[in-house]
Structure formats: structure tokens, C-alpha cells
A and B are shown apart, each in its own frame.
Chain A
Amino acid sequence: MNSATAVSSAWSYLKQSLNLDGKWQKELDKKEIEICLELVVRHDLVDFTKELVWQKLYYETRTRIVPTFWSKFSLAHNENVGYESLNEAVNGLNADIAKQQHYFSLLDRLSGSVTSKSFDQYKAHLSAILLSKIPPHFEYSVHAFYSRAFRAFMSLEKRSFNFDADESGDVITHCSGCDQEIDQCECNVILDNCHNINKDLTELGILEKLSVGMIHTLILSQIQSHVQDSCVGNFASSQIDMLEKWLHSIIFRWLGIVYGEDYIQQDQVRKNFTQFLYHAYTHARIEQLFEIIIGYPESFPSVKDLQECLSRTQLKPTLTQSLKTTLEARLLHQGATTEDILIAYVSAIRAFSVLDPTGVLLDAACDPIKQYLRLRGDTVRHIIHSLTDSSGELGGELELGRTGTAILDDESVAAVGDAEASTDWENWSPAPSDADPSKLWTGKKPGDIVPMLVNIYGSKSLFVKEYRKLLSDRLLLNLHFDTEEEIRNLEFLKIRFGENELHNCEVMLKDVADSKRINTHLQSVAHKPDFPISAMIISAQYWDQLKDKPMKLPIKIINQLEQYNQNYKAVKTSRSLHWVPQSGSVELELEFDNHRSVSFTVPPDLAAIISHFEDKEQWDLEELSQEMELPMSHLRRRVHVWQTHGVLQEISTDRFKVDENGPTFNGHKILLETLAKMEEEEEDDDEEENDKKPEEDGLQIYWSYVVGMLTNLEALPVERIHQMLKMFTMQGSSGAECTLQQLKNFLDSKVKQQLLSFSSGTYRLPKP
């Protein structure tokens, strides 16, 4: 056989055996191959032949194996199908690769190497082709496959802990992992299968590339939902340790099963998942922050958790933002009472003192509360009320702060401290990096509630003014001159606000004490009056304006009061009393014709009414109204009080007489509460008036400015006047800021009084 024919026959054999021309020969005859190879080697055709074989192999892979693999993945979004399809695809792929085995042995032979180097080379190639042809829908199958595997894993895991019983102690009959009855549970099968697939894919080196995204997504969503589950409605226990343990025992183990132990030993992988856990947990807690705050201090553990998480995550801005939104949606609206808002605020201050001792977060997050409270008229009243009411939520706060001894000066209230002037410069530290740079950071710790509350207004004088009002109300209702409680409160407030600010209040308390003394004295010297009088003698300058509605008292009472006044003048020369007839109270004992007698403690106007009936049996309402100089509507309300208590009866419309049967009850009765209610109603009546009055009083100081302005500048529009007032009135000395609208109302009222004229949009002084 000459060499040419040998080569040509070998070539055709090789061609045939390698299926180069498309026909497939099942069995390669070893002998023939040997001969062929020998020829190839002899003719120095190794490289050429290798190239041929590779070409063939690649072609095969590209046109058949890979498309077959991907074609297994169905488009249908059905978990079962998805699960099966990955299974099938991988098995098919394995079979296909096995079929190519003879190429590899041939290639190895050609290279003369014993180890299957060519196979490794092929794997790289295969994975490249596979990945280049990934269809978009394959992820679903991977997801389906692994989530089923994960469920199986979890369910087995659970069972190994719980011994066939779930938390409620019921025997599990249904496996949550494979959706089968427990006796037919396939979890183990699924898991084994998963192991095999993983092994195969790892073998091919494509496991990570194919599945890593899906598996991570799967795990992250598992972490998310687990965190949610463990956080819901549970603030009173710390979760973070539990969660970390869970992460280690379940998630890391599962990852170990899928990717092998080596994978989870990587620091980066562990870190990533732990970080994600913290993130998820922080988010969950942030969402619940409002409830946590309301529930403080019961929710202390979760606040602690959150504090730890915040230090590991960068979620502070998210926290402030989310809390702000929640607060606005859930707290700062018309429906919430001021008291509730205050309680929430105080709770927030307390919670944040744990959460973020620097106070930066509190400042940022609770700013809306402060702003909102500033808009509510009754805030100061509520604050003071709850501070001085020892039984209330904040009752202890005044006392609590006294160890601090720091007098609130306006600087600290306004949270503006001069860093240089600080005596505590040695302990100075820079503002936290997340502090709002537009605000001066004082390093004040938000622990003390009282300054935080006062801070709502940014000025203590408003606060003190409101306290004075409150104190005056309380003292005037206190008929026993008992001031011990108030003195105690005042002392505490003095520690906080300083003596000067509260000087007025001190005078008020002293007035009460003096009144008591003078009363005792005057009563001892007086010649037996018809009824005992004890006067609350107050210094008008120091007390808030009293509600002095004019009323004419019956003449005999006036005489008595005059007598008292005379006595007073004798004791305190050059001073006299000005009576405020509608304030105070009267103790009455009414005797009826049937010899029953009943005692009442009533406001003076009620007493005056009944006293008139002493002189005259029947009164027309109108008559009485003239006699007492009270408006009909007010009088009717008061008469009605007597009527409901069975003292008076209406014999015809608006005509009353004493009810002979007398009241239906015996003993002592206090009608002061009814008074409070009536006054409230009346206040509603005159609200319009009352609202306007102080406003105009405040503006009165501007009047001379306005006159001066208009004298010199002739005519000005209201905007200009407003602007000029703002510019040229001394800030602080007048204090009262007014809005454009207020000014306009004020000027219009002057126009009505013909002190101004208004034409074509400008105000001017009228021509003399």
C-alpha cells in the first residue's frame, strides 16, 4: 500500500468516524483509529486534524446541544413546569456531553496527553456559548427550581427542629415544602435532585453564572419576608440577635448546600448578606417607628435595635423622611388633640434620646411637630397644664429637671449658644457629620423634656405669660386661699425660668396670702355684717385682665361691700377697693315656705338673681334684666339654672317666681361648674369681639407711626405702610408683629372712625 492511498483511505475513515460529512458512525473501531492516528502523526497533520475535530465539536455544540438545552425552558410561568424544565435541561445536557466523549478521547490522543485537557477546554467553550444564548425567560425556571428546593430545605429544617409539630402543637399532615401529604413528602427527593443538578452544573463550571443572580434574589426576598414576619407588631423585644442567628443557621447553611462550604466561607459573601439583613431590619423598624415612639418605653428594645442598625447602615435620612411623612399623615391633623400631639412629642423626645443622643435626628424628624404645635393656640396652656398637674403624664418633669439647675435663658431656649462664650469649652466637640449645617449645633442633649417643650415657641416669655393666665384662673377659683400647691409649682418654674420672669406670679401668690390676712382682720373689726365677706384683693397691674362684665348688684349687697371697703381704707390708708362683681362665689342658704332649707355655693350673679326674689315675688325677665344691667340672653341662662334646680318656676313666658315646693334635694350643692359651662357658651357668643380687641390694642402702638408716616409722605398703599412699619419700628420694644391682613383691618377700622381716608388704593390723612 503506498502512502498516498493509505492517507486517502485513512482520511475517508476519519471523516466518516468523526461524522464530518454528516453521517454518524456509532462505533469507532479502535484498531482503525490507531492506524489513522499513526498516519496523521506520520504526515505531520496533527494540528490540522485537531482543528478539524474542534470545528466539528463547536459546530455541534452551537447548533444542537445548546439550543436543545435552552429549548427545554418553557415560557409558561408554572412552578412545576419551571422546576421540571431545569431538571430536564440539565439531564439532557449531561447526556449530550456524554455523547461527545469520543471526540475528547480522540483529541487527547492527538495531543498525546493522558489527562482530559480537551474536556476542560470544551467546558469553557460550552459555558461561553450557553451564556451567550440565554433566553430571557430562563430565569423563571431557575427561580422555580431553587425556590422549591429552598422550601424543601426549610421544611426539612423545621421538621428536624420541631419533631413533626408546628408552633401550635398540631401534627403537620401537610408538607409545606413539596405540597404533599407528609407521608409522601418529596422534600428529600427534591433536595437530592437539587444536589445532583448543582453538582452537574458545578462540574460544567456554569452553576454560579447561571444561578447566582436568581439565588441571591431568592435569598434576599426570604430575608426580607422573614424580617417582616418577626417585626410585625412586636416592639417589646430585641430581634437583631435572633435574626442574625437565623441568618447563620438557615441562609448560610443553604448557601453552603448550593455552592459548597467554600463559598460561604468568603468574608465578602457573609458581609453582604449580613448587611442586607440589617438593611431590611432597619427599614422594617423605620416603617414602624411611629408605633415604636407611641409605645415608648415599652418599645425600648426595638429602639435599641434601631440604634445599633443605624450605626451600621446609612439610613438616617430615610428615617427622618419616613417619620416626617408618617407624623404628618397620622398625627398632625385636625383630628388629633393637642394633648395627644404633646404626648407623642414627649414620647419621641424620650425615644430619640436613646436612639440618637446627639439630638440631630430628633431635630430633623420632629420639626414638623414643633411647627404644627406653634400653630395651635392651646399648646402653651396644655404644656403648662400637664407640667403643673402632678398626676399627669409630665407631672414629674418639673421636679426631674431640678438637678440640672440650669436656668433656661433665652439663648439656650432658642438653641443658639455662643461656642466661644461657652464655659464648658473643654468638653466641646464638633457637630455630628449629619447635623443640619444651616442650624447652629449646640451639642445639647435632648434628654430634658421641659426645655424641649418650651423650645416649641423659641421664647420663654410667651410661656410665662400663659402660665400667669393659668395661675390667675386657678387662684380665682380657689376660695380657701390655699396656695401651697401653687407655690410649689412656682418654685420649680423659678428654677427653670429664673426669678425675674416669674415675678408677677409671685406677686399674685402674695396677693392671695395678703387677702387672707386682711380678711381675717377686717372680719374681726367689722360690726356684725348681714353676711360675711372675704375679698380677694389683687393688684391689677400684676394680674391678667379679669373678665369684668358689668352687673349691678342688689343694693343691700352693695352697701355691705361699701362697708367692707371703708374698713379696708381704715387699715390701708390711701387705698380703696374696686369690686369685680362677676368674679368670686357666694355661699347661700335658701329657706323655703315649707321650712326646708338648702345650701348652695354659686357665682355672684346667680346669688344676685335669687336675692331679688327676696324682695319681690315675681319678676319679668326684662324687668330683672334692667334691674341687674345684664343682657337678656345671659340672664335667661342663669335663671334657667335656678329653674332646673327647682328654686324658681316659670309661671308664664319669661315671668318667674319662687317655687314654693323648693328644690327636690336636700343639703349642699355647688353650682360653680355650671358657671364654667355658661361662661364657655358666652365666650363663644362674644368670641368675635374678644378676638378683635387685643389685636387692635397691639396695633394701637403703630397708630402714631402711621400718622407720622402719612403726615410726611401723604398717601401710601397698605403694603408700603406695612413694610415701613416693619423697617422703622424698634424691634423688640414694641414686640407685636402684625400681618398685612391685620394691619389692613386696623387701618380700615380707622377709616370707619374717619381718622383716615382711603381712595384709589392708598391711605391718607383726612383734610383738616
Chain B
Amino acid sequence: MAQNIDPVNGSNNSISMKDGDGPTSATKHQSTSKRLQQELLTLMMSGDKGISAFPDGDDVFSWIGTIIGPQGTVYEGLVYKLSLTFPNGYPFTAPTVKFVTPCFHPNVDTYGNICLDILKDKWSALYDVRTILLSIQSLLGDPNNDSPLNGQAAQLWSDQVAYKKLLLEKFQDTKS
């Protein structure tokens, strides 16, 4: 398809460049959505316990994810919803992932932003929705207290019993 672009008009690409997508945005767009559909298929077939995600509506670029707190942690049995937004450059650019359900956690701020290296500088095209969700799930039980977004949570972490009490209180608040 891309080859069909008239070479004479090729110089007019500046028009489409304004979108910031470059001349082959349509192609990329398509390959991205294809990749996301493929990921969806893998995710649906993988049957991982406690993680799940699905496109939330009209296109394949924004998903809703669900994570159940891992067993043996204070988060056990709690269900958190996340939003995943994929840029056109996916998988070469990291998706934006946020908690929709308020989450009391050292590495999650009050707006649901997550501090996780693979979503920032350590992102690689080899990651996919499933690995992202698994990483976040394991982050729940194993926070990185050196760079907290939520100081209270980070401080309290050492006292797991108190932490759990506060966590459940906060979680119940969001429910009601």
C-alpha cells in the first residue's frame, strides 16, 4: 500500500507530518492494531489467574485491565481495575497504564499513576499486555520502597498487619 504513494506527491508529506506520525502512519496504525488483536488473543488463551484485560469499547487502543491481588500478600483477593492506553508507536513506545480503582501502595500515587521501571525507561518492545499486568501484579506484593510515590504506604509497609488494616479500610472506602 505504501508503495502506491505517487512519488511526485511524496514531497507533500509535510502535511501528514504535522500529525507527527510520518508518512506511513496508516500502515503503522494498522500493524499496531493487528499486534494488539494478537495480544488479546494470546491473553484470552493464556488463562493466567488474576490478570485480565479487554478493549473497553470502540477501538483496540484503549483497554481495561483487571488485577486480583496475589495470594500470600496483603492485597490477596482485592480486585483492581486499570486503564491501558496504547500509543500509535506501540510496541516501540510504552503504553500508559494507570490504576482506575484507587490503590494504596508505595509506588502508586493518588491519581493512580504507577512508578514501574518497565513502563518508563526500561520499556522494551518485547513486553506485552500480559507481562505488564503480571509485573504490576507482582509489584503489589513486592513494592519498591526506595522511590515511593506514596510515603505513608512506604513507611507503613514494614508493619504488615497495620498496613493490611489500613489497606482494607481504604479499599472498602472506594467500594462504598
Contact = CB atoms under 8 A, between A and B. Distances in A.
Interface of chain A, main secondary structure: helix
A728 interface: yes
A311 interface: no
Interface residue tally of chain B, by bracket?
A: 20 to 34
B64 interface: yes
B52 A712 contact: yes
Given A712-B64, A712-B66, A704 B56 contact: no
A727 B47 contact: no
Contact of B81 (A709, A712, A733): A712
A530 to B, nearest CB: 50
A461 interface: no
Nearest to A704: B44
A717 to B, nearest CB: 13
A713 B47 contact: no
Interface in A548-584: none
B55 A727 contact: yes
A708 interface: yes
B54 interface: yes
Interface stretch (B11-19, B35-43, B102-110): B35-43
Contacts of A712: 52-54, 56, 63-66, 81
A228 B28 CA distance: 65
A707 B47 CA distance: 10
Contacts of A730: 37-38, 41
A712 B133 CA distance: 13
A707 B58 CA distance: 18
A709 B52 CA distance: 9
A711 interface: yes
B55 A711 contact: no
Contact of A708 (B38, B43, B57, B81): B43
Contacts of B44: 704-705, 707-708
A724 interface: yes
B134 interface: no
A183 B38 CA distance: 97
A728 B38 contact: no
Interface string B18-51: 0000000000000000000110110111010000
Contacts of B41: 729-730, 733
B119 interface: no
A729 B40 CA distance: 8
B60 interface: yes
A711 B52 contact: yes
A711 B54 contact: yes
Interface string A699-726: 0000011011101110000000000100
Contacts of A727: 55, 58-60
Contacts of B57: 724
Contacts of A728: 37, 40, 54-55, 60
A727 B56 CA distance: 11
B163 to A, nearest CB: 25
A209 B54 CA distance: 83
B56 A708 contact: no
Contacts of B53: 708, 712
Contacts of B63: 712
B33 to A, nearest CB: 10
Nearest to A720: B57
B76 to A, nearest CB: 13
Nearest to B58: A727
Given A728-B60, A730-B38, A704 B54 contact: no
Nearest to A710: B54
A708 B29 CA distance: 24
Interface string A356-398: 0000000000000000000000000000000000000000000
B31 to A, nearest CB: 14
B37 A708 contact: no
B68 to A, nearest CB: 10
Contacts of B65: 712
Contacts of B64: 712-713
B32 to A, nearest CB: 14
Interface string B86-101: 0000000000000000
B41 to A, nearest CB: 6
A237 B164 CA distance: 98
A92 to B, nearest CB: 82
A729 B45 CA distance: 12
A628 B41 CA distance: 45
B56 A713 contact: yes
A709 B54 contact: yes
B53 to A, nearest CB: 6
Contacts of A724: 54-55, 57
Nearest to B44: A704
Contacts of A707: 44, 52
Given A708-B44, A712-B81, A724-B54, 9 more contacts: A704-B45, A708-B40, A708-B52, A711-B54, A712-B66, A713-B56, A727-B60, A728-B40, A733-B41
26 contacts: A704-B44, A704-B45, A704-B47, A705-B44, A705-B54, A707-B52, A708-B40, A708-B44, A708-B53, A708-B54, A711-B66, A712-B53, A712-B63, A712-B66, A712-B81, A713-B56, A713-B64, A724-B55, A724-B57, A727-B55, A727-B58, A728-B37, A728-B54, A728-B60, A730-B37, A733-B41
- Enumerate the 4 nearest inter-chain pairs by beta-carbon distance, A residue then B residue, closest first: A712-B64, A711-B52, A712-B54, A704-B44
